[in-house]
Amino acid sequence: MANLKEVRIRIASVSSTQQITKAMKLVSATKLRRAQNGIVQMRPYAQKLNGILANLSESVDVDSVKLFFAERQIKNILMVVITSDRGLCGSFNANVIKLTNKTIKEKYFAQSENGNVSVLTIGKKGFEFFNKTTLPVISEFKDTFLNLNADTGFEIGTKVLSDFRAGKFDAVEIIYNQFKNAATQILSAEQFLPINKASFSNTTAKNNDYIFEPSKEGILEELIPRILKTQIYRSLLDSLASEHGARMVAMDKATENAGDLLKGLKVEYNRARQAAITKEISEIVGGAAALSS
């Protein structure tokens, strides 16, 4: 049994850790509310744009945007992997990395064997992992979530679209956590490019006959890239809200575990203290008996 000093040190250490996890839980809960408001407000706008994209998908004949819909022979693949910049959020990052590896293995195994699968990481944790693998990391976006806004999302979108337009990649996949609620994140692997028309089957779109003003070419060249960049920004907002939800749950669980550990340590402390007192009494009684004899 550990002595009283060792148990006291452990109790103080666990209590300090519990205070930290409580504070982190409260901070994450506050950030979660802001991030949740952001994604909730963004989704109707993104869904409306997807509806427009679904309507336009059958009638796009502008060369500069037609390539976003055109199926190619898939030789080079880009995986856009969205993780967090910080840890202490349970299996949030590990699940994204596992799904990325699973998608590459099951869907793009032949291309990965030829070294034709590249990774664009958003978040430090994803970069730290894939930078140690054989997969080439073509670009990294760290500290993205410190001040996430539409400009950040559009900057990433511009990079992805320009590489796809230049023919560097024939397919782009986005791996991220979709936010459902504070306790639930849905892992998603979505084909971003080329645009999959089959995915519009669940989109509430009507066959509208649009009138384009001033010109169809000018509007489509501006509208479709904006829709695609908005999808990336939505994925970032989803991931940010999911991160704070995962961290809040992880810190809540850590606080509970620290409480359970403290209970056990206090029982151990009381037992050690009782044993020390009993030993002292025994020594006093033994000494008194020796003197009387």
**Measured distance CA(66)–CA(89) in Å, rounded:** 41
DSSP 201: G
- What is the pLDDT at residue 288? 75
Per-domain residue ranges for the chain?
22-250
Output the CA–CA distances (angstroms, integers) from residue 98 to 176, 272, 280, in the order listed: 11, 46, 58
Residue 49 is predicted with a pLDDT of 84
Pick from 273, 92, 282: nearest CA to 187: 92
CA-CA distance, 4 to 225, in Å (whole number)?
67
22-250 CATH: 3.40.1380.10
Taking the CB of residue 142, how many other CB atoms lie within 10 A of it? 15
Contact 56, 220 (CB under 8 A): yes
- Spatial distance between the Cα atoms of 63 and 150, rounded to a whole number of angstroms: 27
> If you search the block for the tokens 């003003």, which residue do you land on?
213
Alpha-carbon span 5 to 180, nearest angstrom: 47
Please give the pLDDT value at position 106: 94
Q: Are 204 and 192 in contact (CB under 8 A)?
A: no
Q: Is 116 helix (H, G, I), strand (E, B) or coil?
A: coil
Q: Known catalytic residue: 89?
A: yes
| Structure confidence at residue 58 (pLDDT) | 67
Cα gap 293→289, rounded to integer Å:
6
Cis status, amide bond into 214, omega within 30 of 0: yes
Q: Which of 116, 166, 148, 131 is nearest to 232 (CA)?
A: 148
237 φ/ψ angles, rounded to the nearest 5 degrees: -65, -40
Kindly list the averaged pLDDT for each block of 10 residues, start to end, along the chain of length 293.
Answer: 80 94 94 93 88 73 76 92 94 96 94 94 94 90 88 93 93 96 92 80 56 74 89 95 96 95 91 83 79 72
CA distances from 290 to 9, 247, 279, 284 (A): 37, 63, 16, 10
Of the residues 7, 32, 89, 251, only one is catalytic, namely 89
Distance CA 208, CA 167 (A): 32
Tell me the whole-structure pTM to 2 decimals: 0.86
Q: Say which residue the tokens 């199926």 belong to.
A: 71
pLDDT of residue 221: 82
Q: So what's the pLDDT on residue 122?
A: 95
Q: Which of 91, 81, 94, 189 is nearest to 140 (CA)?
A: 81
- Per-state percent for the chain, helix, strand, coil, to nearest 5: 65, 15, 25
pLDDT at 53: 80
